[in-house]
């Protein structure tokens, strides 16, 4: 008899297949990322229907076959329904789902990543922010995610020579994994000049100081820098981890 496995997971992607079948990408507590085959779930009479959906946390049961995991039962435990009604939240969701898709390999389990993901979506679902706040939320997720994955940036001393930083001369280096000083920048090159505001924001992100962060007024030039170094660091990491 086939073994049944049970777990809880956050559903971040779905793909329709022929014959009313569907494949869900689920980020689970016990098995890391799994792809799970839901037979005939789009059929009207499917008993699985309503138990699993994108943006939701579900308790799922599956059997491990030779080629894939087949969903046998699903119970929806948390639906982040406020996300669907706010386009900016959906945008953040889509970007986070892309990150998970790119960075989380199948069956790698990490309780810290799971907790970060679930807590992040709970906060995102419940909060009401100006548009710029949602965009910052994505970067908050990104830097905490990168840190948990082992790529926490050095923000308090030069990532190359370990000397103290001068707030007027700050450069972010992907390769060094953090901020470098001017003399290291002149020596190594290959880093992006940033400013003290961006460093402050990155420190708040990694301190999980959400309340202070939401009160921040970020200048558009600093936001652009944050966007640039975050996206570059993301591309750099996906090159390493791919
Ligand atoms: Zn240095």
Q: Angle of helix 131-146 relative to helix 87-103, nearest 10 degrees? A: 10
Q: Are residues 147 and 225 in the same domain?
A: yes
Is residue 85 in some structural domain? Answer: no
Give the contacts of 207 (CB within 8 A, at least 6 positions apart). Answer: none
Last residue of a domain, one of 37, 58, 79: 79
Distance 233 CA to ligand 1 centre (A): 19
* CATH code, domain with 61: 2.40.50.140
Would strands 178-180 and 32-38 be described as parallel, antiparallel, or unpaired? unpaired
Instruction: Report the side by side order of strands in the sheet with 192-194.
Output: 178-180, 170-173, 192-194
Residue that wins the pLDDT comparison between 218 and 175: 175
Distance 183 CA to ligand 1 centre (A): 6
Distance 185 CA to ligand 1 centre (A): 7
Distance 193 CA to ligand 1 centre (A): 14
Distance 209 CA to ligand 1 centre (A): 27
Element (H, E) at 82: helix 82-85
Q: Are residues 149 and 226 in the same domain?
A: yes
The answer on pLDDT for 78 being more than 70 is: yes
Distance 159 CA to ligand 1 centre (A): 7
Last residue of a domain, one of 79, 109, 139: 79
Q: Are 118 and 10 in contact (CB under 8 A)?
A: yes
Q: Are residues 68 and 147 in the same domain?
A: no
Is residue 207 in some structural domain? Answer: yes
Q: What is the DSSP string of 49-61?
A: TTS--TTEEEEEE
Q: Are residues 70 and 143 in the same domain?
A: no
Return the pLDDT at 1. Answer: 66
Q: Are residues 55 and 143 in the same domain?
A: no
Is residue 20 in some structural domain? Answer: yes
Is residue 98 in some structural domain? Answer: no
Span 124-142, average pLDDT: 88
pLDDT digits over 3-20, tens only? 899 999 999 999 999 889
Q: Are residues 156 and 223 in the same domain?
A: yes
pLDDT digits over 166-186, tens only? 999 999 999 999 999 999 999
Q: Are residues 135 and 220 in the same domain?
A: yes
Count the domains in the chain: 2
Is residue 224 in some structural domain? Answer: yes
Distance 174 CA to ligand 1 centre (A): 14
Q: Are residues 133 and 237 in the same domain?
A: yes
Is residue 111 in some structural domain? Answer: no
Is residue 175 in some structural domain? Answer: yes
Distance 158 CA to ligand 1 centre (A): 5
Domain that holds residue 218: 129-241
Return the pLDDT at 159. Answer: 98
Distance 154 CA to ligand 1 centre (A): 12
What rounded mean pLDDT belongs to the chain?
90
Hey, which residues does 169 pair with through a beta bridge? 166
Residue that wins the pLDDT comparison between 68 and 49: 68
Span 29-48, average pLDDT: 88
Return the pLDDT at 91. Answer: 92
Span 93-99, average pLDDT: 90
Distance 164 CA to ligand 1 centre (A): 8
């Amino acid at each position: 008899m086939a073994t049944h496995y049970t777990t809880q997971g956050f559903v971040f992607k779905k793909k329709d297949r022929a014959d009313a079948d569907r494949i869900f990408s689920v980020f689970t507590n016990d098995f890391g990322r799994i792809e799970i085959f839901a037979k005939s779930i789009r059929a009207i009479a499917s008993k699985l229907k309503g138990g699993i959906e994108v943006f939701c946390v579900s308790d799922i049961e599956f059997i491990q076959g030779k080629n894939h995991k087949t969903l046998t039962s699903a119970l929806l435990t948390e639906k982040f329904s406020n996300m669907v009604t706010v386009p900016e939240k959906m945008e953040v969701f889509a970007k986070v789902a892309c990150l998970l898709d790119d960075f989380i390999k199948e069956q790698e389990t990490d309780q810290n990543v799971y907790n970060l993901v679930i807590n992040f979506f709970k906060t995102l679902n419940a909060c009401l922010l100006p548009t710029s706040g949602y965009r910052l939320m994505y970067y908050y997720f990104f830097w905490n995610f990168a840190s948990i994955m082992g790529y926490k940036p050095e923000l308090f001393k030069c990532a190359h020579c370990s000397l103290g930083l001068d707030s007027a001369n700050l450069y972010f280096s992907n390769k060094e994994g953090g901020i470098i000083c001017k003399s290291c920048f002149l020596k190594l090159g290959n880093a992006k000049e940033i400013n003290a505001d961006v460093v402050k924001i990155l420190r708040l992100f990694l301190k999980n100081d959400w309340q202070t962060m939401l009160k921040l007024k970020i200048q558009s030039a600093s936001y652009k820098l944050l966007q640039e170094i975050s996206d570059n660091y993301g591309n750099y990491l996906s090159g390493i981890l791919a």
